[in-house]
Structure 1
């Protein structure tokens, strides 16, 4: 049996100052650091005595969240660019208000791009898919993945065996600091036991 935990990075400065997250390198707030420490403590209790592989986005807010987990579990994080949040192009470094006022193409399908130099959700899906396949195939029995909200919503759909086009009509979004637990049984059946469980930060 394989257990996969996904962790959405905790509160970041861009959550409090009205700026776009995406590929900008925001750090965690003081509250975000406290939340990450709480997550690491609870994961330590759940995974005590078990070998763990830890993957993380290489963006600062995810790296800092993963750092608390890595220290508590005494593992070395593996940073992967595939786990970055969706690239929103020219609005990176701008405010959310600027984004809303300057959208070039409203997103109605997974192939739409908010800006000409941004990723569509299909682009994001295609970026993540090889990493997802490698995680599903590897022998490690306990895996933790630290990433971002939009990226993890795509991961959730992949885990359930949905096609990319399903994102046109459904979404499985979480919250900052939410922890999901996914099980793959020996017969291959996939189960989501927890989805964006916020009790890990409380």
Structure 2
């Protein structure tokens, strides 16, 4: 059996400041650090003493969440830019209203390649083209319990890659998740089916980050 636990990073400074995240690189808040420890405890309860690998986005809010998990499991973290949040280009770090005033929603006939009208922003396809190969490489590793720490938007594409949803069919997918959530994915050894055991569970958190 292969178990994959996908964690969305806990509360970050940009949440409190009302700034656009994306590749804007901020630290966890005090609440975020507490929630990261709670997330680590919940993962320990789910995984137990099994050997585990920890993979993470290299942005600080994700890597700091992963570090709390790694400390609890006494395991190293493998960081990669492939698991980063979608880039909002020039909007990164600006006040959220700045982005909202300029953001152009993707039309139904061009969900994958629309950059939302923001200079330098990634498209959904751009994110998928880095996330899908990364998830495939992680899953192909021999370890049967793995943790991925990533971001809210990226979570959807991690799940899509796991479920083998073609990129061309991923334009309308969305799996909303609170910060610090845990999504449990499992592949059984007999049928080789890939299941979503639980989606964006945040019941372990005493502080519900947004």
What TM-score bracket applies, with the shorter chain setting the length?
A: over 0.9
Does residue 1:141 correspond to 2:140, yes or no?
A: no
**Deviates most, 127-136 or 105-114:** 105-114
C-alpha displacement of 1:13: 1.3
Structure 1 distance, partners of 2:127, 2:199, is: 21
C-alpha displacement of 1:158: 1.9
C-alpha displacement of 1:19: 0.1
**Deviates most, 118-127 or 161-170:** 161-170
TM-score, normalization: structure 1? 0.95
C-alpha displacement of 1:46: 2.4
Deviations 1:132-174 (A, max 9, x none): 1112211110000000011111111222222223333332221
Residue 67 of structure 2 corresponds to 67
Structure 1 distance, partners of 2:171, 2:133, is: 21
Moved over 6 A (4+): none
Structure 1 distance, partners of 2:19, 2:68, is: 25
Residue 17 of structure 1 corresponds to 17
Pairing of 1:1-202 with structure 2 (within 5 A): 1-103=1-103, 105-108=104-107, 109-114=111-116, 115-186=118-189, 187-202=191-206
Deviations 1:76-134 (A, max 9, x none): 0000110110111111121111111223x432312100223111000100011211111
Structure 2 distance, partners of 1:169, 1:81, is: 24
Cα gap change, 1:106 to 1:46, in 2 (>3 Å):
closer
Task: Give the total of aligned pairs.
Answer: 201
Structure 2 distance, partners of 1:77, 1:25, is: 18
CA RMSD of aligned residues (A): 1.3
